[in-house]
Amino acid sequence: MKENNLKFGLPIGNVTSQIFANIYLNELDQFVKDRLNVSYYFRYADDFVILHRNPGYLKAKLIYIDDFLKNKLSLRLHPDKVEIRKFSQGIDFLGYVVLPYRIVLRTKTKQRMFKKLRQKMLELNRGLITSENFNQIVQSYLGVLKQGNNYELAVRVKNLVGLYGH
């Protein structure tokens, strides 16, 4: 990302970026948990969720968090990525949608996964990747699907790649 010809930010998906984010944002974690006394706060890298029944409580905490990020860490919340919503509507977090009684893969994540699998199947058929490499990719996706209520989706993946019954 560029602003005023200055580059800033961390490369997305880079392991060191995740480590740096955790180190840098540890101060935010302590502020939210210890100073604001928030009980249900979850963060991974630069994505976080706060759960509470009262929307007014969330709005008040958001003001403090925004101020802390600006003044202490020189960061800002992305205005398009801040949402206050009912838990029954689901929480979009880390590629999943967390609902009251189940966790499902986000629609865009599913679409991207199937597109990538079809692409890898073509590469396998053309001899561009080995069957061992292809199987590792498939097993990785199946592992991701085990993280939520995605049994039917796992069956679709197995059917697509010809693994059903294995």
The total of structural domains in the chain comes to 2
Q: Are residues 71 and 19 in the same domain?
A: yes
pLDDT score for 9: 60
166 vs 71, residue with greater confidence: 71
Q: How confident is the model at residue 147 (pLDDT cuts 50, 70, 90)?
A: confident
pTM of the complete model beyond 0.85:
no
Which of 28, 53, 83 is the last residue in one of the domains? 83
Instruction: Tell me which amino acid residue 126 is.
Output: R
Give the structural domain span for 56.
13-83
Q: Are residues 119 and 76 in the same domain?
A: no
Closest by CA to 45, choosing from 96, 90, 91, 11, is 11
Q: Are residues 50 and 109 in the same domain?
A: no
Contact 42, 49 (CB under 8 A): yes
Closest by CA to 162, choosing from 118, 126, 127, is 118
Q: What is the pLDDT of residues 64-119, one digit of tens each?
A: 999 999 999 999 998 888 999 888 899 998 889 999 898 999 999 999 999 999 99
What is the C-alpha to C-alpha distance for residues 114 and 161, in angstroms, rounded to an integer? 10
Q: Is 110 contained in some domain?
A: yes
Q: What is the pLDDT of residues 149-163, one digit of tens each?
A: 899 999 999 999 887
pLDDT score for 1: 31
Q: How far apart are the first and last CA of the chain?
A: 44
Q: Are residues 122 and 75 in the same domain?
A: no
pLDDT score for 12: 64
Does position 19 have pLDDT exceeding 90, yes or no? no
Q: Is 61 contained in some domain?
A: yes
What is the C-alpha to C-alpha distance for residues 17 and 9, in angstroms, rounded to an integer? 9
